[in-house]
Amino acid sequence: MSGPTNFTKEEVLPIFTSTTPTDPAALEWAPIAGIFRGTVRLRMHITPGNLSEELLDAIRHTRYPDADVPEVLGLRRVLESACGRAGVALRLDPGPRDLQTGFVGFFQPFLVRWPFARAKLTMTIAPGEIQWNLSDGRKEKGPDAERLEIAKRELLEGTRAWIRNGNR
């Protein structure tokens, strides 16, 4: 197996950054159209001004490094805090380290396991943005359905605060 392919900073920045920063007040869960019915996501734009050097280094390789970058660590704290306030247990499983074929810097640092039967939450770092993707959350019925809504609201508010604080 060959080693990772390295891209230059100049090759990666136009692909991986947006010209528009995320407005925390405008950040909302939005449905994904098409084949992803039942999936909602929060999208946070990555700009050259809020891109950490560690994340830039990570996306310059065709393989995600084993070290977590500040953006991932910060959003993991947001997630853990939101779940704590909602009374929701969670387990983090490492995401696939290989990049998806055909994409530069498209990876999932971790997968979130919740005690809900079908709801799945993933964090995805994609060209130009970081996303929280929640699949099948609206189908969940039963006593934990209310806690899922609380967790979604807390995750939204925590992510807004994280953006206002400069992604830290």
Q: Is residue 45 part of a domain?
A: yes
> Total structural domains in the chain?
1
pLDDT value, residue 90: 86
Does residue 80 belong to any structural domain of this protein?
Answer: yes
What is the model's pLDDT at position 99? 54
Query: Is 92 inside a domain boundary?
Result: yes
Other C-beta atoms within 10 Å of 72: how many? 22
C-alpha–C-alpha distance, residues 52 and 70, integer Å: 7
pLDDT per residue as tens, the chain (168 positions): 456 677 888 888 888 899 999 999 999 999 887 666 678 899 999 999 888 888 888 777 766 655 678 888 899 999 999 999 998 888 888 776 655 544 455 677 777 888 766 778 888 888 889 999 888 766 656 667 788 889 999 999 999 999 998 876
Look at residue 118 and tell me if it is in a domain. Answer: yes
Please check whether residue 13 lies inside any domain of the structure.
no
Residues spanned by the domain of 123: 32-164
In a domain, 2, yes or no: no
Output the pLDDT for position 145: 76
**The two three-digit tokens of residue 72, written as one number:** 């991932």
Give, as one character, the DSSP assignment of residue 20.
Answer: S
pTM of the model: 0.83
Structure tokens at 60: 């310059």
Listed in sequence order, the residues at least 6 apart from 77 whose beta carbon sits closer than 8 Å to its beta carbon are none
pLDDT, residue 162, reads 93
CA separation for the pair 83, 78 (Å, rounded): 9
Q: What's the pLDDT at 102?
A: 47
Report if residue 9 sits inside a domain. no
- Cα(124)–Cα(126) distance, integer angstroms: 6
**Cβ distance 50 to 167 under 8 Å?**
yes
Q: Is residue 6 a part of any domain in this protein?
A: no
Give pLDDT, residue 105: 55
30-31 and 120-126 strand pairing: unpaired
